[in-house]
Structure 1
Amino acid sequence: MKYLPLNPQIFIDNRKRFVKAMRPDSIAIFVSNDEWPSNGDALQAFKQNTDLYWLTGVEQEDSMVILFPDCPDPKYREVLVLVRPNELKEKWDGKRLRSHEATAISGIKTIVWLDSLDALLQTWIHLADHIYLDSNENDRKASLIQSREYRFIGEMKARYPLHKYERAAKIMKELRGIKTKLEVEVLQKAIDITDNTFRRLLKFIKPGVMEYEIEAEIFHSFLSQRSAGPAYGSIIASGDRARTLHYVSNNQECKDGELILMDFGAEYGGYCADLTRTIPVNGKFSVRQKEVYNACLALHNYAKSILKPGISIVDYTEKVGDEATKQFLKIGLITKADVKNEDTENRAYRKYLYHGISHHLGIDVHDLGTRTEPIKSGMVFTIEPGIYIEQEQMGVRIENNFWITKNGNIDLMKNIPITIEEIETLMKAKK
């Protein structure tokens, strides 16, 4: 890992929260992600299962965590399972965690090597009535590939068919949606790295620069600040390409007079920042660009004012849509007739704002959390309205990250330049 060691209390507290939600006489088992093949004998870069990481902080492949709070032997009430270090393998692939190192990261005192787990696990299973197993219940998942967690479910049910199986994911969705203060401290570090990087870009961008050169600056800045790298594929979209929401080609020239939309964020300690800013390539917004940008910023600020405990995402999105209608009328994108005749299932403003306004954020960029229940204190959301105008070959999006409090929210990106005046002043300073 590139980042400095995290406070293990993060993961100790997370496990306590999960155990508190378990049924009596139950055991929970979480497995790591697969090492996915690439081509030939190559493997994709390993990415840990985020539920396992949330519970342990361990990023190593072939790991497991077992939580058995009612185990008669207190030593085995929480167990971290690791691959036994192998001297020959380490010469090829690098050092593996020793037990004391794993304890320092996770706060788990009992470490069991994977090759000695089977007999122990069978004994623990026989003592339990319920078995919690993990699965991917992210509402937006699109892959049908059977990953390790699903294969493990099949193996367990075949071996222990008479136990009562429970969905760990249902608990994780509730718990991971609420961030602790310690978690937000790590997230803030990822955000601060992203802030520093954006300020660097304001001095770097000029007409003629290539989108991939900007992406390279982002990557360099992230790694030089101990980030693992981008939390997701950076979107560097100049001109009309900004209307493509997930544009990642990043291979065109940024031209004088264009706006450039940049959606990027650092990963630090497993937690993800998610920033979007739209700036003028030449350092100066035109009159029309200012008009559209300020409409988007007004929409952003309105969303910020209503994102608080008690409101549902559905109601929140509807209210932001009402405000978008007002803003789009002001800047001439839609007419009163468009609004009067709009389809309630496809409102007039949707021609120019065709994505959601907010999503949960954490150790996944689109993190676990409710989409239907009222928003709760402790949740972290993005706010990212956009305006995309095909006839003007222009796209604007403004995105910050917010931690929900009892009475409102805290803008975790409040220090990052966002107004036209701030952006133009910093871009001018490079000269």
Structure 2
Amino acid sequence: MVVRKKILFTICQYIMLIRIMYDLILGRENIFLAIGEMGTVTQVLIHTMDIMLEIQDTDTPKEGFMGMKRIDEENITREPYEKQLKIKDEVCKFVIEDAQYGYYDGRKEVLDKKIIDNMLSSVMKVLYNNSTKYNEMPSVVTISRNIESKTEEKKQLFEVIEPVERLDDVIMSIDIMNQIGLVLSAIQNRNLLVEKWGLSGFGLERRAIVLNFYGLAGTGKSLCAKAIANKLNKKLIQVNYSELESKYVGETPKNITNVFNEAKKSDAVIVFDEADSFLSKRLTNITQAADYGVNITRSVMLMELEKYEGVVIFTTNLITNYDAAFKRRLLASIKFDAPDEYAREKIWLLHTRKVPLGDIDAKQLASSFKGITGADIKDIVYYAALIALQNEKEQVDLVDIEKAYGYVVARYDAGVEKEQ
């Protein structure tokens, strides 16, 4: 009602201005009288409109001014609105996640229902007319204005952390230690190698230094990546591909860009886990939108690597399907195998340093149990301690270790080798 009053008042002002101009042209001297008359007319018209609205509200409680339905503005809610449409044999269910509902004469209804239904019918016709063998008619279409949830999703994608892990604490084979040493030397002497010695390539010039760690789960890939960031006195951003991937079309490439932008601001090392999920070979036979999305995601990743000047580490359990364009950008690709006997002994010592052992020591355990990862050894020690406590023992014996070993290796499809 307030808006209508304002509109009416504005109209009256224009009428009054025209009247004043008319009096000026005619040379009339009662301009101020005319202004007073028009002000009075304006007030009378507004008062009359109020009476008309009151009469209309009384006679037709469902309708407002000019036949519009009157809505209880204070009780509008957002709830899902569903409608199923059919064209010939094709059926599609439409869901508006946050449609607005209001009350008409105490009855709850979706607002602008006719307009919404017409819109959905138009969308249904477009989908039907553009469906093909490879672009099938969807069975469900969801419409949402929920921008806040997408923003929240971006906020939870990653966090910038200060790594506390040290390379001295990471137990790895001598071969891996030597390769990590070469990588650190290349990073720390980057300017010397490029500017003074004229050596370029492998990301040493103005683009990202890219490392790839691959191998069995639990072999220390992520731990080593954190330790490298610490050694370089940099912060760390660790991202899992499942967190990058978004249900919203086109959001996954944006998420990748957001990670690189944050890394630039924070001067951070980026660690991408599950790298094989988006760095596999480019799809050439694209049959659906999802395939196109995978190629776009990979292209965005490669472009961001070209622009970034920091350190990026990819970790994966699989490397056989990596795209060749990505492999060319690698400074080093380091395989993390199950630890050798030297490394196993150090890992056993690390995890049993406070555990009371009976008739065994770390050297014997490293020699006896082969093919297991550092994560496996940690779990074996934990289960062995539980078994000993369950049997009311004050120390962990070989029999407890062997039983725990059986529990841990049972998690894998095939057992691991144990030397008798």
More helix by share: 2
Category of TM-score, reference length = shorter chain: under 0.3
TM-score, normalised on structure 2?
A: 0.22
TM-score, normalised on structure 1?
A: 0.22
Q: Which of 1 and 2 has greater Rg?
A: 2
The one of the two structures with greater contact order (alpha-carbon pairs below 8 A, sep at least 6) is 1
